[in-house]
């Protein structure tokens, strides 16, 4: 008859290897940038403020996401990248900031800008061993459905 202690040694080894794997994978290389004092963020905020002045009560600048975030997390043969950019590109922000109010209203930029209010986000997962990539994105900005370009 086999002793009940016979199986404890291999299970103990398996548990120890599992714990070592978790510890090794938790020491990821992380690069993060949450700096908001950037040209693209500031120009987006200035564009939203200018739109509020020009569009009156039809435009809510608080619904425009002017933020930046970047995170790259590498460990255990996998890299994950999260990126968020302001709702307006720098070209759109610059155009909106410089456009006269009459042009903004006449070209219906208020409605398109409001529809494009979500920040542009993307996530990428790369399995370094298998060379496979998967990505998801949710975009505001000029890619908002049926909104067209914010600034012609």
Q: Where are the domains of the chain?
A: 29-143
Residue matched to tokens 């794997």: 21
Angstrom distances, CA of residue 69 to CA of 16, 32, 38, 47, 90: 37, 8, 11, 19, 16
Q: Give the pLDDT score at 141.
A: 46
> pLDDT value at position 25?
56
Other Cβ atoms within 10 Å of 43 Cβ, number? 21
Share of the chain residues as helix, strand and coil, in percent rounded to the nearest 5? 45, 25, 30
Q: Give residue for tokens 């070592």.
A: 20
Give the pLDDT score at 9: 54
- At 138 the pLDDT is 56
How much is the pLDDT for 28? Answer: 64
Query: Which pLDDT score is estimated for 137?
Result: 56
pLDDT the model gives residue 35: 81
Element (DSSP H or E) covering residue 39: helix 39-55
Strand runs (DSSP E) across the chain, as ranges?
29-33, 69-75, 78-85, 120-127, 132-138
For the chain (152 residues), the mean pLDDT of every run of 10, in chain order, is 54 61 62 82 95 92 92 84 91 95 94 87 74 55 53 80
> How high is the pLDDT of residue 88?
93
Global pTM?
0.67
Note the pLDDT of residue 78: 83
pLDDT for the residue 142 = 44
């Amino acid at each position: 008859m086999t002793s009940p202690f016979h199986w404890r040694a291999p299970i103990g080894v398996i548990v120890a290897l599992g714990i070592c794997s978790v510890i090794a994978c938790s020491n990821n290389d992380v690069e993060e940038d949450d700096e908001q004092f950037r040209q693209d963020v500031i120009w987006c905020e200035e564009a939203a403020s200018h739109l509020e002045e020009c569009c009156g009560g039809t435009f809510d600048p608080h619904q425009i996401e002017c933020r930046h975030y970047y995170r790259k997390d590498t460990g255990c043969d996998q890299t994950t990248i999260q990126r968020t950019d302001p709702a307006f590109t720098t070209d759109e922000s610059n155009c909106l900031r410089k456009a006269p109010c009459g042009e903004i209203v006449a070209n219906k930029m208020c409605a398109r800008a409001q529809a494009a209010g979500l920040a542009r986000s993307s996530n990428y997962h790369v399995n370094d061993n298998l060379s496979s990539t998967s990505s998801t994105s949710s975009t505001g900005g000029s890619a908002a459905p049926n909104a067209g370009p914010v600034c012609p």
